[in-house]
Amino acid sequence: MTTPDAAPQARRVLVAYASRSGATAEIAQWLAERLRSEGEALDVTVAEVSDALDPSGYDVVVLGSALYEGRWLRSASRFARRHRHDLDHAWVWTFSSGPLDDSASTCDIAATNSADRASRHLLARDHVTFGGRLAPDSRGWLAHAMVEGGHGGDFRDRARIDAYADQIAGELSMLPRHRRPAA
Ligand SMILES: Cc1cc2nc3c(=O)[nH]c(=O)nc-3n(C[C@H](O)[C@H](O)[C@H](O)COP(=O)(O)O)c2cc1C
């Protein structure tokens, strides 16, 4: 008697994000939605980075953070530093979200130092900066002053976010399951 070939197991993908006011959390959801739409080959989970989040069971990690004063949020930088060895086997991509104008839609914005450091810790294959969002009712005196100064608005570009998810899915379809076999 022959048994049918087992279907290949879906890759486990973690989209992890650090967000203060929710805009980056939504970008993470959009990336996850698009990755899920690529078929059943990807089993996608979205989670906020925290000390309790353990990424070691995932085959793929997409890690992103909002930018504040030129830097990733501390929780995201710490996550990258802390899990650099747990993710030896995983394929990793990173993203930042911040610019409050259309610059991120019209050109490639280089990673800031902290985003670059995190990306290097995790040997990320690529990093992209997306536009950000500053809501008119943002809290905090600096955010409020920025809104008053005319910097409010939503500059997140869904087409660019979808394109990054498509890029990730396309590369994954050509890569072995793991970057390095588990020891
Ligand atoms: C006080 C403050 C500082 C900011 N600093 C930067 C910055 O240095 N670079 C940048 O690109 N965006 C900066 N931004 C824009 C935020 O990154 C943007 O609003 C982002 O979408 C916020 O994401 P979140 O809602 O996930 O926290 C700043 C916003 C505020 C309110």
Q: Which domains does the chain have, with CATH numbers?
A: 11-172 (3.40.50.360)
**Separation of CA 176 and ligand 1 centre (Å):** 36
pLDDT in tens, the chain (183 residues): 555 566 678 999 999 999 999 999 999 999 999 999 987 799 999 999 999 999 999 999 999 999 999 999 999 999 999 999 999 999 999 999 999 999 999 999 999 999 999 999 999 999 999 999 999 888 899 999 999 999 999 999 999 999 999 999 999 999 999 988 655
> What is the predicted pLDDT for the residue at 8?
74
Asked whether 118 lines ligand 1 (CB < 6 A), one says no
Ligand 1 atom closest to the Cα of residue 22 is 25
**Separation of CA 75 and ligand 1 centre (Å):** 15
- Do 112 and 62 touch, CB atoms closer than 8 A? no
Structure tokens at 66: 């909002």
Asked whether 97 lines ligand 1 (CB < 6 A), one says yes
- SS3 string, 45-105, reads EEEECCCCCCCCCCCEEEEEEEEECCEECHHHHHHHHHCCCCCCCCEEEEEEECCCCCHHH
**Cα separation, 26 vs 95, whole angstroms:** 13
Query: pTM for the full model?
Result: 0.95
Asked whether 153 lines ligand 1 (CB < 6 A), one says no
Q: How many Å is the maximal CA-CA distance in the chain?
A: 74
> What is the predicted pLDDT for the residue at 3?
54
- Do 98 and 70 touch, CB atoms closer than 8 A? no
Structure tokens at 100: 């409050």
Ligand 1 atom closest to the Cα of residue 109 is 11
> What is the predicted pLDDT for the residue at 183?
55
**Separation of CA 99 and ligand 1 centre (Å):** 7
